[in-house]
Amino acid sequence: MDISIELNILFPNNSHPLQRKRIQLLVDEPSVDHWEQAAGIVISPKDRLKLWQVVAMVDPNYTPMQRHPGSQTLRDIPDQATLVRALRHAAFILGR
């Protein structure tokens, strides 16, 4: 899914290429490993909100996972639609 507009707003001037890549990979291929690499990325610098926090804002049923090795399952990972909603929320609502 193309989230280049959202990423350009969240990370202007192609800043933070590693974070951009991790978020794009997570949206393209949601997995526990990709989520662990992207969940802690600050996507709303003004509010210092991380990706997992913005996911919780747009999905009231989402509950953050506890960091116990091996305890995460794929259902703990937000689906693609929720991730995109969170990125759009951060870019177009929080970013104003």
How would DSSP label each residue in 41-62?
A: -EEETTTTEEHHHHHHHH-TT-
Q: Place 91 in a pLDDT band, splitting at 50, 70 and 90.
A: very high
Token readout for 12 is 């202007």
- Residues 1-45: pLDDT tens digits? 899 999 999 999 888 999 999 999 999 999 989 999 999 999 987
Whether the model clears a pTM of 0.75, i.e. scores above it, the answer is: yes
Q: Please, which residues bridge with residue 49 across strands?
A: 44
Q: DSSP character for 23?
A: H
Give mean pLDDT, residues 64-80: 64
